[in-house]
Structure 1
Amino acid sequence: MKTATRGRSDAAASITNYTTALRWLYEHVDHERLRIVRYNERTFNLSRMRKLLELIGNPHEQLRCVQVAGTKGKGSTCSMLARMLQEAGYGVGLYTSPHLVDLRERITVNGQMIAYNDAAEAFKLIASVEDKFGEEPPTFFEIMTAAALKHFADQAVDVAVLETGLGGRLDCTTVVDPLVTGITRISLDHTNILGNKLEEIAREKAGIFKKDVPAVSVEQTPEVEAVLREVAEEVGTTVEFTGNEIDFSYRFEANRELGPHTRVCVTTSTSKFEHLPVPLRGEHQAHNCGLALAMLDKLKGHEFSLPEEKIIVGLASTELHGRMEQVWTEPRIIIDGAHNAASITALIRALGAHISYDSLVMIFGCGQDKDVEGMLQQIALGADKVIFTRAKSNPRAVEPGELMTKFNEVSGKMAQTAPNLPDAIRLAARAVSREDLIVICGSFYIAGEARKYCLDAQSKRQRR
């Protein structure tokens, strides 16, 4: 952990604007960027998080919260849920991670990122109490979470939708007392931290369950479902699954208005959502959408007024960067934050269902803490050509040469390496025709860098 070198009593005084606030923030331990993370109660210390919140006025106690955990689909589920609540007339705080381009993407109210000045003030407040922690000050993610909760309380939001960071049991978002919790699809991810068995990972994710707080989950594998039900019973709550206790179905179709898309049906004792178009592409997003609707239904028990016509409009207007997002037209470039084997599989299937192309060129880079072999096996099945690179902002990135070596062990397909993302994009652009598709994936780091690179290039083109 960070130790006291520079006097932290002077930290708050050093924060005079957003730039100096960021400088202070990035001095703190950031587990998203560390090569080795010890997953235990000292590293992920909920007592430290509770102390931090107490020192800044316990903002979470002023909030009604919804919490979502899982391996993949958390951000999508949270975004759909937040947008539906907003359209129903509620002030909605949304806390997600990681960000793609701007740190402030993580903290939004009714779709608007936290203002630079508000972010600086929140960080300054936290810096002013940091000397209370001695040699183990709050971590980067704890500070971000506290800043989000403080901002939501200051803005007097009606509900805060919180995406769990790592795991669930020890994640600092778990200090809140939510109205409902949700679990997205659980698969292998962060295996060096959470374990390499689905049952182990499921138990960590289920750590967000609380006594008498209803829990909802998407359909899971039998072993994961068993663990979730067991943990729910242990803590004194119930967990319901879409496709089981909650009637859920979906179908894929295409029409002139929406093109290829998926529609879902969700029926409970108090809601009946029929054939709603899923705003995000891919079969996996149908499950996330069903979960968001099922969680929304649980909020009716807390006197939320949720007219169906508002829900339909809110869902349809959901947008989410970094999920099958086209960031360039000629050649066509798609970015996606897929970062484990299951999400790579879902991405490739979604591309085939929603986008016509002749050849798929994939630019791929990932972190060392991921299921690298599992992702490469799926890439070998779906991509026609692969260019391995690394995100410059990810200190845990696997070297392109190492990825190439591992890929050659599972595939005989054409592959190349590039030292950085811009070189990889130029290499791919020279190799594709008008009908081909370039897809950049493997981590949110590389998806974010690609989005910024393309936005900057577009801005330069417009200024000419």
Structure 2
Amino acid sequence: MTKITKKTGKKRAARSSSKVVSIRTKKPFNNYRQATAYLFEKTDYEKEERVRYNVTTFSLDRMRNLLSLLGDPHAKINTVHIAGTKGKGSTATMLARMLESNGYTVGLYTSPHLVHLHERIVVNSQMISEAEMLGLMNRIYAPVEKLSKDDPPTFFEIMTALAFMYFADRKIDIGVIETGLGGRLDSTNVILPKVVGITSLSIDHKLQLGDTIDRIAMEKAGVFKKGVPAITVQQDPTAMSVLREQAIVVKAPLSVTGSSDIDFSYRFETSREHGPHTRICLTTPTSKFEHIRVPLHGKHQAINCGLALALLDRLRSSGYEIDIDKAADGLCGVTLPGRMEMVCDDPRIMIDGAHNAASVRALIHAIGQNIPYDSMVVIFGCNADKDIPGMLTELQYGADKVIFTRSNSMKAVSPQDLAEMYTDICGKMYQTSSSLGEALQLARSAVGREDLILITGSFYLIGQAKVRFQPNVTLAAS
């Protein structure tokens, strides 16, 4: 076994011999505003309503060409790759915090951001600074312009390259990398990770990834690499079958939490110190994690935490020195903006980025288990590429009243269209509003002290809510 030490003697991937583009000229950007304005001008598939999902639109060759011109920074860092439909960000963050608590310098790359672009690129819980971003943008400008003559890099490709550059500059010990869309064609799928994690799979991004669970599983399994161990959670049987078949095809050893591979269990409890919470136990051939407290609410977060622990154990087996008690301490401090986050106490207002049917179902269950309330008014808005009937079906089981609104996303569905679909599904009470501000006025007039207002359905919508309730936070230009 190769020991991976925290500061010295760290085993690193071989440095690429690729030639770095260097053009002797004055810096293209004099300030941060100029640099980010240039970045936001690039094609951003997160914003576009209809995107063709193919090897031309989502080109790994284009991504590799950009990285080659930058000296292949992704080849200079060790990584963990996390894909899936829901829980990627939670799993990635919990894993990163456990590694940090063990003394490692950890890079964390996630998407999308709620409020500020810099949320996507983090080292040891600190977002990249404006000065650091400006420096990276000045370095990446020439390679981007060189490629733009024939095949312009996209916003997400540039962001991903910036993350790899930053992590290489900071000489991180490990990078936890979350996929954006899908897996097979995702810009992050150029790395050769130490281990791959697949979170829970469900229907999402129907226009790009398909509307059946087997097609989605096939896309997510595209991150499997020959000889690289992969770990997943219990899945829909059809999805699990696809994952197992693809793991065999590419010769990636696949383990599953909650099976004979990795024993996993969880239990819900309440204590004076922590209130309602979940504890998990996970046993592998090399480690035993007993009664670990999950820092986030809900059964789904217990499953995500189990996966994070299994990934941590795999890194331990590959040479990373991990102390279980320190890992548990790292978990205790995990909080996630936009995940069952209470942003106002009077009235009680919670935001959550549930943006597919499975996530809404998990959210409604977690609120019922952990948050006491008399009635719940839900402010809901979502994008057109989502499983809207599935989300609305799940919403009816927890919402006493729904107020449909729209976010500032170009892909947002009109409140009237959402209301019509909701009426067809259940016929329950609803209102519509043209903006989040108007929706909040309606909600406040309908709730009492013991009631709860929940804002959900879209990361764009809860990003707007976070800005509204945190005056010192400014919504990113993107």
Band the TM-score falls in, shorter-chain normalisation = over 0.9
Matched residues in 1 for 2:97 and 2:26: separation? 35
Mark the CA change 1:251 to 1:15 in structure 2 (over 3 Å): closer, same or farther.
Answer: same
Q: State the shift of 1:104 in Å.
A: 0.1
Cα distance in structure 2, aligned partners of 1:55 and 1:322: 36
Q: Percent identity?
A: 53
Aligned partner of 2:202 in structure 1 is 187
Within 1, Cα distance between the matches of 2:472 and 2:71? 44
Task: Determine the C-alpha separation between the residues in 2 that align with 1:425 and 1:166.
Answer: 31
Question: Are residue 372 (structure 1) and residue 373 (structure 2) matched?
Answer: no
Q: How many residues align?
A: 450
Q: How does 1:26-425 map to 2 (within 5 A)?
A: 26-133=40-147, 134-244=149-259, 245-392=261-408, 394-425=409-440
In structure 2, C-alpha distance between the alignment counterparts of 1:115 and 1:458, rounded to whole Å = 15
Secondary structure of the residue aligned to 2:175 is: strand
Superposition deviation, residue 301 in structure 1: 2.3
Deviations 1:414-442 (A, max 9, x none): 10111111111121111110100000000
Letter in 1 for 2:374: D
Asked if the contact 1:229/1:238 (under 8 Å) is kept, the reply is no
Which amino acid counterpart does residue 45 of structure 2 have in structure 1? Answer: H
CA contact (8 A) 2:115 2:473 kept: no
State whether residues 12 and 128 of structure 1, in contact with CA within 8 Å, keep that contact through their aligned partners in structure 2.
no
Once the two structures are TM-superposed, the CA of residue 410 in structure 1 deviates from its matched residue by 1.0
Q: Which structure 1 residue ranges, 4+ long, deviate > 6 Å from structure 2?
A: 9-12
Q: Report the secondary structure of 2:470's partner residue.
A: helix
State the shift of 1:10 in Å.
12
* Contact 2:265–2:281 under 8 Å retained in 1: yes
Deviation at 1:12, TM superposition (A): 8.3
Write the deviation string for residues 341-392 of structure 1: whole angstroms up to 9, x where unpaired: 0000000000000000000000000000000011011111210000001111
Match of 1:6 in 2: none
CA drift at 1:300: 1.3
Q: Is the 8 A contact 1:87 1:314 kept in 2?
A: yes
Structure 2: unaligned runs, 5 residues or longer: 1-22
TM-score, L = length of structure 1: 0.95
Q: What displacement does 1:412 show?
A: 2.1
**Letter of the aligned partner of 1:318 in structure 2?**
V
Residues 165/10 of structure 1: CA separation in 2 closer, same or farther (3 Å cut): farther
How far apart are the structure 2 equivalents of 1:166 and 1:89?
31
DSSP-derived class of the 1:285 partner: helix
What letter corresponds to residue 128 of structure 1 in structure 2? A
- Take 2:210 and 2:55, find their aligned partners in 1: how far apart are those partners? 16
| SS of residue matched to 2:289 | strand
8 Å CA contact 1:380–1:413 kept in 2: the answer is yes
Mean Cα displacement is larger for which, 340-349 or 53-62? 53-62
Letter in 1 for 2:398: G
Q: What code does the residue aligned with 1:321 have?
A: P
Corresponding position of 2:465: 450
Matched residues in 2 for 1:11 and 1:139: separation? 24
Matched AA of 1:220: Q
AA aligned opposite 2:367: L
The answer to which structure has the higher helix fraction is 1
Say if 1:90 and 1:163 are closer, same or farther in 2 by CA, change over 3 A: same
What is the distance in 1 between the residues matched to 2:150 and 2:387? 34
3-state secondary structure, aligned to 1:79: helix
Asked whether the 8 Å contact 2:203–2:356 carries over to 1, the reply is: yes
Measure, in 2, the Cα distance between the counterparts of 1:401 and 1:86. Answer: 46
**Secondary structure at the counterpart of residue 173 of structure 1:** coil
> Per the alignment, do residues 458 and 138 of structure 1 end up closer, same or farther by CA in structure 2, a change over 3 Å counting?
closer
Please state how far the C-alpha of 1:458 moved relative to its aligned partner: 9.9
Q: Distance in 1 between matches of 2:275 and 2:459?
A: 27
Quote how far apart the aligned CAs of 1:124 are: 2.0
* Pair 181,457 (structure 1): closer, same or farther in 2 beyond 3 Å: closer
* Whole-angstrom CA distance in 2 between matches of 1:135 and 1:324: 44
From the superposition, tell whether residues 450 and 75 of structure 1 become closer, same or farther in structure 2 (CA, over 3 Å): same
